[in-house]
Structures are given as structure tokens and as C-alpha cells.
Amino acid sequence: VSYQVEILDWKTKEQLCFLDKVEPNATIREIRLMFHKLYPRWYPARQSIKLDPKGKSLRDEEILQHLPVGTTATLYFKDLGPQIGWTTVFLIEYTGPLFIYFLFYFRMPFVYGLDERFTSSPHPVVNLACICHSFHYIKRLIETIFVHRFSHGTMPLRNIVKNCLYYWGFAAWLAYYINHPLYTPPSYGKKQINFAVIMFLLCEAGNFSIHVALSDLRRDGSKTRKIPYPTKNPFTWLFFFVSCPNYTYEVGTWISFTIMTQCVPVGLFTLLCFIQMTIWAKDKHYTYLREFKDYPSLRMPIIPFLL
Amino acid sequence: LQNPDIAITDNVLHFRAQGHGAKGDNIYEFQIEFLEPVEPKPVCRVTQRQLNITVQKKESNWWERLTKQEKRPLFLAPDFDRWLDESDAEMELKEKEEEKINKMKIESRVPKDPFKHLKKGYLIMYNLVQFLGFSWIFVNMTVRLFILGKDSFYDTFHTIADMMYFCQTLALMEVLNSLIGLVRSPLIPAVIQVLGRNFILFVILGSLEEMQSKAVVFFVFYFWSIIELFRYPYYMLSCIGIEWKPLTWLRYTSWIPLYPLGGLAEAVCLIQSIPIFSETGKFSLGLPNPLNVTIPFSFLLQIYLIALFLGIFVNFRYLYKQRKQHLGPKKRKMK
């Protein structure tokens, strides 16, 4: 028996399309493709198909006959707006700060004035900071290309403007002060810098380990969520205590960078990162708790035992 | 109906009277024995056509029937206009109990205050002192305006500032009064007003010589003092418990033009001061410093300017709400 599918606009409820003779085992993905054929400007990533006008969007893998619909199914469509792939977004977001920092490090003439153009700082910590900052963003770019597996393919286009403003703007602001001719190195000198470098390297290694571990959970190409567990890698042992150790390590990286440069704008950026990541970690943590009855109870979202 | 003889003994109502009826003058009497104990004193009210006898139950509860005997006397019929069935009776009881509980609650919430007179005295003194201070400022400025005209604008600060410093420093007490609950008005509008004004007075005007000889100072001080000329006397009188209606109206209406004008004058002050702070770098953190950041005070002032308009807006809404509370219902009565 074949199904009939009608798709209505979620707000106006007008019928946008009527699909005849749909296979019962058709997936939402196939329905999206059929809809796209009728409306070329609404490519599948832009389509939110739902059972209820105010409900959640159906996933691509859902099968028509398993949904709570009769043989004539009514689905609702919402336009999510122009979409952009996560990989694309990350690449743009992370390349910006990398090169913007260099503009300040090499002291382009329009930054500190003609007198200071292309000069270099007498403080070794400034060179170190440039290496660390660049290393951080290059690592992120490599992870985006080779490591991350995204569960959602796309995000709305306007997000990229917001995100880029944030990352690029802050990179410029903190690079300005670190590479400034009147920069003051850390008050506790070499001790402070060495401590910061070691903390930085440990956190970067930790962050990378977690990303690899998370990526391995989806090695088979599936898009379902699984509980991450500690592996043989000691850095992943943070999973015993925390749901999102990648965020924990990330905050650690930025704290170490703040200590290394002793710069208030860096500290402010660290604080904002911490707030944002705590929100994401809590979200993820509660999603895990809801989905898995046997989720380890010792784990906190982002800081062991505390938060 | 004449000579009614009504009494209750041992829960029995005895009635005896002389009446003029269809069959001429006769003596009428009856007796009713009540189901449960009743109060021995009935309340009687005589009208032309009837006699009302109200008998109270000793215990307020539902009676299955009126009389002790099982059969209802033939002459007895319920008055359904005043009939309360079981649920109504229960509701009546419940309401009465609730009223009792509420009364007890209200009485217990208001403790007797041994310091009441001391507090009142302090508040009256405070409002009086402020009123005198601002009157001096207002009169002084007005007189100088008449004598010197526009020229009085430019050295307003030098003549008035000391008194204004005094009054505005004293105004911090208003925040304290609200904080410790001495005064019923809410804390936040008081804080916004006192801190906002003192910021302009001490930081913007007080610390910059250049600002002190600007004309805008005259307007800032003038608007501040006019508003206070109405506010403090109103508070003084309300402490004593007197209300002078014209003053109330003035106090709750004069702010409508004066508050925005005052805010505007303060904004002009800020805008004029920003270039001076930029040039001199006063209160700004510049490089090099161990925090490796620059905090230009002029930038903070620009943020403050936005906050100023927001604060005025918030206070405006609060004052408008207050106005409706104090003046609103009366307006309806006048119509």
C-alpha cells in the first residue's frame, strides 16, 4: 500500500505540495529531495519537516511508516533560511584569527603607526604568545578538516556573521595589546611564562585527545549519540568526572594563555568562552542524562564535582 | 399587634400577643421547642405587618429540622428567601472563620513600634534640612539670574557648589532610609537618582575646572532644585500626616517637565566633558601597565550616557505609576 503525503506551510497552513504514491519505507531524506525538486530554492538542508507546526524537525533517517501518521500523512514545512555547512563555518571562523593575529604581530603600519611599522618586540614572551595562538588555531583547523564528525550538517547563514564578529573581533583586540610596543611582560617573569606554557601544552593535548575519542564513537558513520568513555589515553580519563572534557581543556588552554600574556582582554575572552562553554556543556550533559538511563552519575557538565 | 410577650426558657420559645386579625381582637400564642440549645435572648423587630423574632443557635451548625418534635407544626413554613441549605450554611461558617483568621494575621503583622516618634522626628528633620538647602539654592540662583541675567550662568558653580555638595551628600541618607525600611519607597529608583546626580556633581563637574565655568551647570542645578522644592515639603507633611492637595498635585506633576529637562541638562554636561577627559586622560588607564589594557574614561562616559537615558526612562515609568496611585482615583471622584 502506498502513502500519500501532503506538505503544508507551518504558519499559513496552505498546501505546498502533494506527493502521491510514496513508498511506506521512504525516509524523510527522500521526501526532502522530492520537495526540493518542486521548490528548487529550498534545498534539503533548509527544510524543516515536522509532524506538528510547533514541533521539532524530523530527522533524515526517520521512516514514513514508523511515524504516527495515517496513509495520508500531513507534514509541516518551515524554511530555516540560507544554510551553511559546519565545516565551512569553522574554516572561516578559525582562519580569521590566525591571520589577524599576524597583522598585529608583524606590526603592519596601520596598526601602531608608521614609526613602529614592522618592528619586533624585545620580549621573548611576545614571540611565544604568537606561536601558541597560531598553534591553537591551526590545530582547530586540522581538527575541523580531519577529525570532527558533525551530527547536524548545517547552520543558518546569519550565524556566521555573528560568530566571525566574535572570534575575529576578539582576536584583533587581544592581539593589539600583546604586540603593542608598550606591552608589559608578566610580573612573575620566567616562572609565570614557563608554568603557562606547560599548562597550555597539556590542555591542547587533552583537547585533541577528547576530540579524537568523540570522533571514534562515530567511526561507523552513524549519527546517533553514544556515551563517551575514558580510553587508554590518560587525557581521556577526565571523562570519569566530566561530560564535556573538551570544553574543560579548552577553558584551560585560554586560562594558560591569559597567565602567559598577563593581558586583561585575553582574560575577558577566557571568561566569555567559559560562560559559553558552560552553557553548551550543561545542555549536552542534560541531553545525555535524558537519553541514557545508565549515564554515569559521578559526571558533572564541565568542572569536576563543581559545575 | 400589641403587647408582645416573647421569651425563651429551656430552649422553648414562648410567644403571646394581642392582635387585630380577621376575626377581631384576639390573644395569639404559640410555643416552639428548638432541636438544639439556643441563646436565651431573642431579638425582636416589629413592623406594621409582621413581627420578626431572631433566635441564635448556641452552636453554629446545621440542624436537621427546627423543632425537637419530629412533626413540623402546621403553622411553621420556611422562608425560602432567607433559606440556606447545608452547603450554604457551611460556606457561611467557613467565610466567618476566614475573616477571623485574617484579622488575627493583620493584627499580628503590625508590631507595636517603640521608636515610631523618633523615626518620624528624624525624617521630618531630614526633609526640612534638605528643603531649606534647596530653597537657598533656588532663591540664590533666581536672584542672581534677575540681577546678572545670562552672566549668572557662568559662575553658578563657584557660588552654589558648596551648598549643592552638602545637600547631595546628605541625600545619601535617602538610600539608607529606603535600605533599612525607614521609608516605604523602593530602593532602586532612589539609588539611581542619588548615584546618578552625585556622579555628575562630583566626578564630571567637581573634578574638571573647565566644566565648572560652563553655562549648563546653571540648568542642571536649577532643575534639580525645583524638583526638590516640591518633593521635600510633601514628604515633611506626609510624615506629620497632613496632606495639602495642591502640594500633592505639584509633587506628582512637576516632574513631568522637570525630570526630562534635568536629564537633558545632565546629558549635555556629559557630552561636553567627554572631549576634556579624552585630551587630559584623567581617570583613564593608559599603556604601559601590567594589565596590558587601556581603559579610556571617555569611552566609559559614552556607555554611561546610554545608561543615563535608560535610567531616566526607568525612573519615569516608576514616577508615572506613583502618580496614578496618588492622583488617579481622586480624579474619578471629581468628575
B334 located within any domain: no
Q: Which of A127-131, B31-35, B73-77 has the highest mean pLDDT?
A: A127-131
- Mean pLDDT lowest among A170-174, A203-207, A213-217, B20-24: B20-24
A177/B293 CB distance under 8 A: yes
Closest chain B C-alpha to A302 CA, distance in angstroms: 28
Is there a contact between A286 and A265 (Cβ–Cβ < 8 Å)?
no
Is there a contact between B234 and B247 (Cβ–Cβ < 8 Å)?
yes
Residues of B with Cβ-Cβ distance to A187 under 8 angstroms: 290
Query: pLDDT tier at A279 (50, 70, 90 boundaries)?
Result: very high
Query: Does residue B86 share a domain with residue B72?
Result: no
Mean pLDDT score, A93-120: 92
Is there a contact between B294 and B332 (Cβ–Cβ < 8 Å)?
no
Owner of C-alpha cell 533666581: B142
Minimum CA–CA partner of B289 in chain A: A184
Query: Does residue B239 share a domain with residue B132?
Result: yes
Query: pLDDT tier at B335 (50, 70, 90 boundaries)?
Result: very low
Where among B110, B128, B153 does a domain terminate?
B110
A183/B289 CB distance under 8 A: no
pLDDT of residue B1: 65
Q: At residue B24, what are phi and psi to the nearest 5 degrees?
A: 95, -170
Residues of A with Cβ-Cβ distance to B291 under 8 angstroms: 262-264
| Three-class DSSP category at A57 | coil
Closest chain B C-alpha to A96 CA, distance in angstroms: 22
B292/A187 CB distance under 8 A: no
> ipTM value of the model?
0.73
CB atoms within 10 A of CB B117: 9
pLDDT at residue B194 greater than cutoff 70: yes
B284 located within any domain: yes
Instruction: Burial-class residue A299 by CB neighbours within 10 Å (0-12, 13-18, 19+).
Output: buried
B289/A177 CB distance under 8 A: no
Read off the C-alpha cell for B115.
521608636
pLDDT of residue B245: 85
Owner of C-alpha cell 579548552: A250
Closest chain B C-alpha to A279 CA, distance in angstroms: 27
CA atoms within 13 A on the CB side of B259: 22
The neighbouring-strand residues paired with A4 are A72
Residues sharing a CB contact under 8 Å with residue A133, sequence separation 6 or more, in sequence order: A97, A101, A175, A257
Minimum CA–CA partner of A181 in chain B: B288
The residue among B287, B291, B292 with the most chain A CBs within 10 A of its CB, best to mutate, is B292
Minimum CA–CA partner of A182 in chain B: B288
Mean pLDDT score, A98-116: 92
**Total structural domains in chain B?**
3
Residue-range domain boundaries for chain A? 3-81, 84-291
A264/B292 CB distance under 8 A: yes
pLDDT of residue B276: 93
The residues of B assigned a catalytic role are 259, 266
Residue type, position A282, single letter:
K
Residue type, position A83, single letter:
Q
What's the whole-model pTM score? Answer: 0.70
Listed residue (B278, B148, B171, B166) closest to B218, CA to CA: B148
A187/B291 CB distance under 8 A: no
Residues of A with Cβ-Cβ distance to B292 under 8 angstroms: 177-178, 180, 183-184, 261-265
Q: What is the 3-state secondary structure (H, E, C) of chain B?
A: CEEEEEEEECCEEEEEEEEEECCEEEEEEEEEEECCCECCCCEEEECCCCEEEECCECCCCCCCCCECCCCCCCCCCCCHHHCCCHHHHHHHHHHHHHHHHHHHHHHHHCCCCCCHHHHHHHHHHHHHHHHHHHHHHHHHHHHHHHHHHHHHHCCHHHHHHHHHHHHHHHCHHHHHHHHCCCCCCCHHHHHHHHHHHHHHHHHHHHCCHHHHCCCHHHHHHHHHHHHHHHHHHHHHHHHHCCCCHHHHHHHHHCHHHHHHHHHHHHHHHHHHHHHHHHHHCCCCECCCCCCCCCECHHHHHHHHHHHHHHHHHHHHHHHHHHHHHHHHHHHHHHC
Cα–Cα distance measured from residue A56 to residue A127, given in angstroms and rounded to the nearest whole number: 49
pLDDT at residue B330 greater than cutoff 60: no
pLDDT of residue B109: 66
B297 located within any domain: yes
Query: Does residue B37 share a domain with residue B66?
Result: yes
Closest chain A C-alpha to B285 CA, distance in angstroms: 12
Residues of B with Cβ-Cβ distance to A264 under 8 angstroms: 291-293
For B281-308, what is each residue's pLDDT tens digit? 889 998 889 999 999 999 999 999 999 9
Residues of A with Cβ-Cβ distance to B287 under 8 angstroms: 180, 182-183
Residue type, position A173, single letter:
W
Residue with more model confidence, A159 or B221 = B221
Instruction: Burial-class residue A209 by CB neighbours within 10 Å (0-12, 13-18, 19+).
Output: buried
Distances in Å between the alpha carbon of A100 and those of A173, A259, A266, B262? 10, 21, 15, 46
For B226-244, what is each residue's pLDDT tens digit? 999 999 999 888 888 888 8
Closest chain B C-alpha to A122 CA, distance in angstroms: 15
Helix (H) or strand (E) run with residue A270 in it: helix A264-291
B292/A262 CB distance under 8 A: yes
B295 located within any domain: yes
Residue with more model confidence, B312 or A105 = A105
B332 located within any domain: no
Left (φ > 0), alpha (ψ -120 to 50) or beta: where does A81 sit?
left
Owner of C-alpha cell 594589565: B291
Partner residue opposite B288 with nearest CB, options A178, A184, A265: A184
pLDDT of residue B95: 84
Read off the C-alpha cell for A135.
598553534
Query: Does residue B95 share a domain with residue B34?
Result: no
Query: Does residue B280 share a domain with residue B241?
Result: yes
B288/A183 CB distance under 8 A: yes
Angle, CA B300 vertex, CA B197 and CA A261 arms, to 5° = 145
Listed residue (B48, B42, B41, B45) closest to B20, CA to CA: B48
Residues on chain B bordering chain A, Cβ-to-Cβ distance under 8 angstroms: 287-294
Closest chain B C-alpha to A297 CA, distance in angstroms: 41
Minimum CA–CA partner of B292 in chain A: A263
Minimum CA–CA partner of B291 in chain A: A263
Minimum CA–CA partner of B287 in chain A: A182
Query: Does residue B92 share a domain with residue B31?
Result: no
Query: Does residue B302 share a domain with residue B176?
Result: yes
Residues of A with Cβ-Cβ distance to B289 under 8 angstroms: 184
- Fold observed for domain A3-81: Ubiquitin-like (UB roll) (3.10.20)
B333 located within any domain: no
B291/A262 CB distance under 8 A: yes
Is there a contact between B267 and B200 (Cβ–Cβ < 8 Å)?
no
Query: Does residue B90 share a domain with residue B131?
Result: no
pLDDT at residue B331 greater than cutoff 60: no
Listed residue (B30, B2, B27, B26) closest to B15, CA to CA: B30
pLDDT of residue A275: 96
Owner of C-alpha cell 534647596: B134
Query: Does residue B231 share a domain with residue B126?
Result: yes
pLDDT at residue A205 greater than cutoff 80: yes
Residues sharing a CB contact under 8 Å with residue B218, sequence separation 6 or more, in sequence order: B141, B152, B153, B156
Query: Does residue B302 share a domain with residue B226?
Result: yes
The residue among A170, A180, A271 with the most chain B CBs within 10 A of its CB, best to mutate, is A180
pLDDT of residue B84: 67
Q: Which of A201-210, B75-84, B110-119 has the highest mean pLDDT?
A: A201-210
What count of residues does chain B have?
A: 335
A261/B292 CB distance under 8 A: yes
Going by DSSP bridges, is the β-strand pair B2-9/A72-79 parallel, antiparallel, or unpaired?
unpaired
Residues of B with Cβ-Cβ distance to A183 under 8 angstroms: 287-288, 292
Query: pLDDT tier at A268 (50, 70, 90 boundaries)?
Result: very high
Residues sharing a CB contact under 8 Å with residue B314, sequence separation 6 or more, in sequence order: B189, B192
Is there a contact between A43 and A21 (Cβ–Cβ < 8 Å)?
no
For A145-196, what is each residue's pLDDT tens digit? 888 877 777 888 888 899 999 999 999 999 999 999 999 999 998 999 999 9
pLDDT of residue B185: 84
Cα–Cα distance measured from residue B258 to residue B260, given in angstroms and rounded to the nearest whole number: 6
Beta strands across the sheet bearing B12-21: B2-9, B12-21, B24-33
Mean pLDDT score, B200-206: 93
Residues on chain A bordering chain B, Cβ-to-Cβ distance under 8 angstroms: 177-178, 180, 182-184, 187, 261-265
Interface A–B counts its CB contacts (< 8 A) at 28
CB atoms within 10 A of CB A212: 16
Query: Does residue B209 share a domain with residue B221?
Result: yes
Residue type, position B286, single letter:
G
Quote the domain boundaries for residue B312. 117-327
Is there a contact between B6 and B44 (Cβ–Cβ < 8 Å)?
yes
Going by DSSP bridges, is the β-strand pair A72-79/A47-50 parallel, antiparallel, or unpaired?
antiparallel
Is there a contact between B19 and B40 (Cβ–Cβ < 8 Å)?
no
Sign of the four-CA dihedral A104, A110, A114, A115? negative
Query: Does residue B315 share a domain with residue B231?
Result: yes
Q: What is the average pLDDT value for chain A, to the nearest integer?
A: 90
Read off the C-alpha cell for B68.
425537637
Mean pLDDT score, B212-222: 93
Closest chain B C-alpha to A131 CA, distance in angstroms: 19
For B82-128, what is each residue's pLDDT tens digit? 776 766 767 777 888 888 888 777 766 666 677 888 888 899 999 99
